[in-house]
Amino acid sequence: MLLPEPPLLEVRRLSTNFETEEGTFKAVEDLSFELQTGESLGLVGESGCGKTTAMLSLLRLLPAAGRIVSGEIRLAGQNLLELDEAQMRQVRWRQISMVFQGAMNAFNPVRTIGHQIGEALVLHAMAPSLDAARPRVIELLEMVGIPGSRETLYPHQCSGGMRQRAMIAMALACGPQLIIADEPTTALDVMIQAQILELLEGLQANLGLSIIFVTHDLSIVAEVCHRVLVMYGGVLAEYCDVDTIFNNARHPYTRRLLAAFPDLSRPTGRLISIPGHPPRLNDLPPGCRFAARCPLAFEPCFAEQPSPRLLEAGHWISCHLDRGEVA
C-alpha cells in the first residue's frame, strides 16, 4: 500500500506576536504550510510582512519581545514548541539551519570564517576543538566552491559572494535536513546571485535538502522553488505550486505583485506599484488585511477576516472573492 510520505516540516496555525509598549503587534497570524523532504518553498511578501519573523519562529529565536502564541511546528513529527531550551539547541543547526540575510553581519568581524564554521561543529560535539574541526571546515568550504586554504580569512577580506558561500558552508556544517535561506541573494550582483542559487540548487539535489527561500524577488521563486507561499501583513495570502502562482494566481495581492514585476519586452513601460501601505500590525482593520488596498474589495472584506481555504488541490487562498469574481 502506498501512503503519502509525511511532510518533513508541518506548520499549523502558527501565530507570533510582539508585545511592546505600543501594543501587541500581530506579526504572524494563523500561518500554515508544509514542506516535503527535498522540496523548496518560496516565502514571498513585502518588507515587514512577517516572513523573517515566521522563520525565526521555526528556530524559536525571536527577539526578546516576540512570543509564539499558538500553533504547532512539527519537524519530522516532533513538535518544536514543546521542547525545552536545551533540546531546542540540539535541533538548531542539526536539523534546521539558516542562511542569514546579509552575510557580512552574520559573521563576527574579529574571527576568521573558518573558526566560525568550525564553531557549529564544536558546539554540536562533532569535533572536540576548533583545530580538530579544520579538515571538515575545509571540506565544507570546498563544497561551496571556496578553496580550503581560505579558511583563515576574516569576513572583511572576503567578497560578498564568498561570504555568502561561507555562510552556506556554515549552514551545511551539521548536516541539517532543512535550510532556511533568508534573502540569500540580497545585496549581491546578478552574476553572483545566479551562482549562489545554482549552488543551493546543486546542494539540494545532492544532499536531499529541503530549503525555504525567503525573498521578495519573484524571479528567484520562479527559478528555484517548487511551491510558493505569499504572505501579506502577517497572514497567508496564497499558497500553491510555482506554476499556479505564475499562471493562475487567484489572490488580488498576488496578482498585483506579479503585475508589479517589470516587463522585459516593454522596457519603457511604466512600473506598476500597489498603491497604499501595508497595514500597521498593532492596529489591524477588522476585515481582510489587504482590503484597504484591494481594488476588488467588497463589503465582507471590511467586516470579516478571510481564513485560508482550499481552492483546489494544493492551492490555498485567503480571500472572500469567489473564483468567478476574481477573473
Partner 1 sequence: MTPRLQRWRQSLKAGWKLLTQNRMGLVGVIMLGSVIGMAVFAPWIAPYDPNETSMVTIDDIYAEPSREHIMGTDDGGKDVFSSFVYGARVSLVVGFTAAMISMIIGGTIGLTAGFLGGRIGNFLMRLTDIFLVIPDLPLMIVIVAILGPSLWNIILVIGFLGWTGTARIVRAQSLSVKERQFVTRARAIGAGNFYILRRHIFPLVLPLMVTNTVLVISLSILDESTLSFLGLGDPTTLSWGGMINYAFTRGAISAGAWWAIVAPGLGIVWVVLACTLVGNALEEVFNPRLKTHHLQGESKMIPHRGLAEPVVTDDHVVA
Q: Under the rule (CB under 8 A), what is the footprint of partner 1?
A: 59, 61, 64, 89-90, 92-94, 97-98, 100-102, 105-111, 116, 119-120, 123-124, 131, 152, 170
CB contact set of 288 (below 8 Å; sequence gap of 6+) = 294, 297, 301, 302, 304, 305, 306, 318, 319, 320
Sheet of 235-241: strand order equals 96-99, 178-182, 210-215, 40-44, 227-232, 235-241, 315-317, 309-312
Nearer to partner 1, 86 or 191 (CB): 86
Nearer to partner 1, 214 or 288 (CB): 214
User: How far is Cα 148 from Cα 155, in angstroms, rounded to an integer?
Assistant: 15
Least Å from the CB of residue 124 to partner 1: 6
Least Å from the CB of residue 202 to partner 1: 23
Nearer to partner 1, 62 or 272 (CB): 62
Nearer to partner 1, 12 or 124 (CB): 124
Nearer to partner 1, 131 or 263 (CB): 131
Q: Residue 321 to residues 150, 216, 273, 303, 315: CA-CA distances in angstroms?
A: 55, 25, 22, 14, 15
Least Å from the CB of residue 69 to partner 1: 21
Least Å from the CB of residue 74 to partner 1: 19
Least Å from the CB of residue 101 to partner 1: 8
CB contact set of 98 (below 8 Å; sequence gap of 6+) = 55, 59, 171, 179, 180, 181, 182
Question: SS3 of 203, please?
Answer: helix
Q: Which residue has the cell 521542547?
A: 83
